[in-house]
Structure 1
Amino acid sequence: YNQLSGTVPSWAKDSQLNLVTNNFVADSSSNSVLPTGWGCLQRNTPCFLGSPQSSSFAVDSGSRRPVSGSDNSFYESDDASLGPASFYVTGAQTWGVSNVGRFMDAQNGSYIIYSSRQFLNTLDTELFRNARMSPSSLRYFGIGLENGNYTVTLQFAEFDFPDGQSWKSTGRRVFDIYVQGVRKEQNFDIRKTAGGKSYTAVRKQYIVPVTKNFLEIHLFWAGKGTCCIPTQGYYGPAISALSATPNFTPTVRNAAAKKNGSKTGMIVGVIVGLAVLGLVAFAAIFVWRQKKRKLSLEQEGMGYTRTTLYSN
């Protein structure tokens, strides 16, 4: 985040080296030593700049499988293992996620949390069973988006601060929310926003511009709230799901839609091919049976003629 520029030296091979949101130039040497997609997460990203490939994306943070939401969005899974300084970009390079920070006094601090509870104030409990957590800085990126205004929806729910009067209920998770570099929420407290209740969904929506085919959502812990309730290393930003949808009529199809369309076309092609093959086989069998029947009748006629001649 230091506005660094130039090329990445060949010795930079550490998978826990987070160089996102700088101004590095991706070349063949850096692409060979750094994780795939890192160049797409530079501020002057070369990925699909001026050539958009999608007009929306949705992510179920921490989930191992995709989920279809009640808002008709298809939430992709997000179970990449991120450490203190790492990032992940999808194979289709439509979105990415980045984490920076190590949990204090918690060597085994979890970056993904899970709950089997039912969640209130939502039709999509499945979206809230997992959440991605960070001790400092958590960013999501939309890559190759068509330029225009978007509605960004962020969904949260607090997990482990129980409702009631126990000491565990005094925990507070506080962080800031930035979208496209603009602070949208300061000292955001999930549980407080939910009326002091845990396991209750909270949605935040913002209309933001995309001008360089790139969207950045940044959740940042500024050292506020509690750090050790109910356990050591339970603090920092956390999010359950997010999505970005266009406030305009798109001119490009999403990569996922293209992929699904290709699969659909393939399936239709196979079905049509099998149908045609079946018709050809049926026709061949019909013709063969007709010829067999005709031959049988001819043979019967010849036998009848021979019998008649012999009788005479």
Structure 2
Amino acid sequence: MARSAPAVAAVFLLVLALLTLGTAQGQQPPFGQPTNAADAVALRAVFQRWRLGGNAAGVDQCPVVLAESFAMNVFVGCDCSRGGECRITDLNVTGYKNITEIPRELFNLTELVSLDLSNNNLSGSIPPEVGNLSKLEIWHFNNNNLSGSFPHELSLLRNLQSLWMFDNYIEGPIPESIQNLTNLTDLRIYGMKLQGPIPKKFSTLSNLEVLMLGDLEGNSSFNFIGEWRNLSALSLRNCGLTGQVTPQNLPKLKYLDLTRNNLSSSIEGLLLPYKNSNYIYVGENNFSGRLPPEIIQPSLALDVSYNPFVYGNLSNLVGQPMYKFLSFSCENVTILNCLRMKECNRRTLTNSATSFAINCGGRQIDYSDPMPTVFSEDSTDLGGAGFHINTTSHWVVSHAGSDPFNKSTGIVNGSNISGTNMPELFKTARTSTSSLRYYVLGLANGNYTVKLFFAEIVITDGPGQRLFDIDIQDKNIRKDFDITKEAQGPRIATNITHDVIVDNSILVIHLYWSGRGTCCIPYKGAYGPLVKCLIFSVTRSQEPKISPPQAPHSDSARQDEKRRGVIAGIAALCIAAAVISSSIVYLWWKWVSLVKRSMA
């Protein structure tokens, strides 16, 4: 046994030397297998069209050897299990802004099982040759500049399990042919120019686990939900849904988003079947009725805001660290009632503010240069749905939204921010994957200048892009706002200045995601609005005007009004009598004068 060890070592060294010699002479290692000739020709042509020539040389052998500089953004997978030559089965090329076209040669890779071309700059329409890829199980074309409509050949992809087609410019109706893709488990189509209605036969997609549709023009009815017993995430945000919602049998549902539709039904009948879910967002609809108390629980993030006919009681929740409920229909929270009751701020707040500043996502910071400014603390973790009331300065921050696949505190940290003389402010920011609102209450009416401060401190490398919309006083001031583009780079401070008129003592700033931008770079849930801080101050060219409160209408007040009315009436009669008497005296004097003149 002692003599065999050197022999084994000698054999090992001999094999290693042969491998090294073969590699030095330009030969491939013996564990590599040749790629199918047609696949190699097609892949080489695709790489050359995309100017990825450094990868084209290695396509004749599987596994395909990629240049180190491309390894993070390019992946080529092979299947060599059939013996002999290998077939190309996976092609993932993402994050190249210089890739602008879909080469026709791509569709000669007929054994592709996975095709991911997300986060590039592809333009034009999807070629009908996509029907050649009948073995596709994963097809991700999201976050490009594709236009036109879905090709009819989409219906040929019967093996498709995951289809991501969002943040493009594809238009036309949602293709009914999707109903034929019965193996789909993950379907995401939003942030484009598609039109409803959602085809009723989508109900046949019985294997769905994730369905995310959104940003549809036109109207749809809620009649396409099937027996989706495996569905865990259902997002139908801004789909033009109208009418009644009938509870469905979705036993595994953990995430439900019906925000920004026109749905109406009993809020109790809608919510109770899903009381064991983790996230329910049904804000900005027309639901009605009493919010069932059993639905309000620490484990559920719930948003029913902006449903004018929903009522409930928040008095037992405010101040509790684990509440997950957001509604402005409450009766016992005074400062929230001020958001919906006309004149309430002028009745309940004694000191009308004219300027204010908030450090969104951070602690209180005092600055003295260039002018004294106190940025109020705004560091509360709002969870998946919640609000924080600053009772000292009378402002509210509310948040609704959570990525179905990643939990976030809504507070993010950054460093090394340039372009500002207030670097301490930019160490944190508040973010949301859906909707973020700031309300300032009790303002003196007048003209204000609002400043919003931003710096992209999350998506700082790679092909990720954050886009969101900004409304002030319910008017859109920015569509698809891109912080990095505005600041000309990440980690650079920038701001927006906007003049606004406050005429009801309330200022509302709304930042929200509209389906655009990347979803998962550098991590899942890295999308939606992000704001660093905000400042609003009165414009000195017009002094604020505070409307005086109306006098209370008590019984004594009514009696005083009657007394004042009687006195005013008597005064009016006295004045009228004096005028009449003066007129009679004047006329009598004129008559006497005329008589004397005629007798003379």
Do the two structures share a fold, i.e. TM-score over 0.5? yes
Indicate whether 1:247 and 2:539 are aligned.
yes
CA contact 2:431–2:531 (8 Å) conserved in 1: yes
**Cα distance, 1:111–1:184 mapped onto 2, change above 3 Å:** same
Distance 1:20 1:147 in 2: 26
Cα displacement (A) at 1:233:
1.1
Q: Whole-Å Cα distance in 1 between the matches of residues 360 and 385 of structure 2?
A: 18
Distance 1:193 1:148 in 2: 29
Contact 2:284 2:304 in 1 (8 A): no
Q: CA deviation at 1:41?
A: 5.8
Describe the shift of the 1:244–1:40 C-alpha distance in structure 2 as closer, same or farther (beyond 3 A). farther
- Residue of structure 1 equivalent to 2:336: 39
CA distance in 2, matches of 1:41, 1:138: 18
Deviation at 1:238, TM superposition (A): 0.3
The residue correspondences of 1:27-176 to structure 2 (distance < 5 A) are 30-35=313-318, 36=333, 39-40=336-337, 42-44=339-341, 47-49=344-346, 53-68=352-367, 70=369, 71-92=371-392, 94-106=394-406, 108-115=407-414, 117-162=415-460, 168-176=461-469
Amino acid at match of 1:125: P
Aligned-partner Cα distance in 2 for 1:54–1:129: 28
Distance 1:121 1:65, change over 3 A: same
Partner SS, residue 160 of structure 1 = coil
Q: Which amino acid aligns with 1:49?
A: R
* Cα shift at 1:119: 1.6
Aligned partner of 2:284 in structure 1 is: 2
Pairwise CA RMSD of aligned residues? 2.8
Q: Residues 226-264 of structure 1, C-alpha deviation per residue, up to 9 Å, x if partnerless?
A: 111111111110000001101144589xxxxxxxxxxxx
Q: Is the 8 A contact 1:142 1:216 kept in 2?
A: yes
Aligned-partner Cα distance in 2 for 1:41–1:135: 26
Amino acid at match of 2:400: V
* Selected match of 1:198 from 478, 490, 498: 490
- CA change 1:67–1:235 in 2 (3 A) is farther
1:238 aligns with 2:530: yes
Q: Show CA shifts across 1:241-288 (max 9, x none).
A: 001101144589xxxxxxxxxxxxxxxxxxxxxxxxxxxxxxxxxxxx
Corresponding letter in the other structure for 2:465: R
User: For 1:177-196, what per-residue CA distance to the aligned partner results, in whole angstroms no more than 9, with x for missing partners?
Assistant: 0000000000000001111x
Residue 313 of structure 2 aligns with an amino acid whose one-letter code is S
Give the distance between the partners of 1:82 and 1:102, measured in 2 at CA.
Answer: 11
Query: 1:268-287 to 2 correspondence within 5 Å?
Result: none
Given the superposition, is the C-alpha separation of residues 40 and 58 from structure 1 closer, same or farther in structure 2, using an over 3 Å criterion?
A: farther
Aligned residues of 1:155 and 1:242 also touching (Cα < 8 A): yes
How far apart are the structure 2 equivalents of 1:221 and 1:133?
11
Equivalent position SS for 2:484: helix
CA contact (8 A) 2:454 2:533 kept: yes
**Structure 1 69/171 Cα, relative in aligned 2: closer, same or farther at 3 Å?**
farther
Deviates more, 1:140-149 or 1:11-20: 11-20
SS at match of 2:425: helix
> 91-100 or 144-153: which moved more?
91-100
* Matches of 1:68 and 1:178, distance apart in 2: 28
Q: CA, structure 1 residues 201+45, in 2 after alignment: closer, same or farther (shift >3 Å)?
A: farther
Contact 1:178–1:218 (CA<8 Å) still a contact in 2?
Answer: yes
Superposed CA deviations along residues 136-165 of structure 1, whole A, max 9, x for unmatched, are 000111111111111010000001333xxx
For 1:150, the aligned partner's letter is Y
Aligned to 2:573: none
- Corresponding residue of 2:73: none
**CA, structure 1 residues 24+241, in 2 after alignment: closer, same or farther (shift >3 Å)?**
farther
- Closer/same/farther in 2, CA of residues 39 and 161 from structure 1, 3 Å limit: closer
**Aligned partner of residue 315 in structure 2, secondary structure:** helix
Q: Separation in 1 of the partners of 2:287 and 2:502? A: 23
**Paired residue total:** 242
How far is 1:170 from its partner?
Answer: 1.2
Asked if structure 2 preserves the Cα contact closer than 8 Å seen for 1:10 and 1:33, the reply is no
Aligned equivalent of 2:470: 177
Q: Which runs of 5+ in 1 are unaligned?
A: 163-167, 253-312
Cα deviation for residue 198 of structure 1 reads 1.0
Distance 2:290 2:421 in 1: 46
Give the aligned partner of residue 263 of structure 1.
none
User: Structure 2 matches for 1:21-32, cutoff 5 A?
Assistant: 21=306, 23=308, 30-32=313-315
Could you tell me which of 505, 510, 513 is aligned with 1:218?
510
Change (3 A) 1:7 1:245: farther
Determine the C-alpha separation between the residues in 2 that align with 1:127 and 1:67.
Answer: 10
Of stretches 243-252 and 179-188 in structure 1, the one that deviates more from structure 2 is 243-252
- Cα distance, 1:3 vs structure 2: 7.1
Q: Relative to 1, partners in 2 of residues 1:7 and 1:145: Cα closer, same or farther, differing over 3 Å? A: farther
Aligned AA for 2:446? Answer: G
Residues 139 and 30 (structure 1 numbering): CA distance in 2 closer, same or farther, change over 3 Å? same
2:358 partner amino acid:
V
The whole-number CA distance in structure 1 between the counterparts of 2:313 and 2:534 is 31
1:276 matched residue in structure 2:
none
Q: Which entry has the higher C-alpha Rg, 1 or 2? A: 2
Check 1:125–1:21 CA distance in 2 against 1; reply closer, same or farther (3 A cut).
Answer: farther
Counterpart of 2:462 in 1: which secondary structure? helix
Identity, % of aligned positions: 33
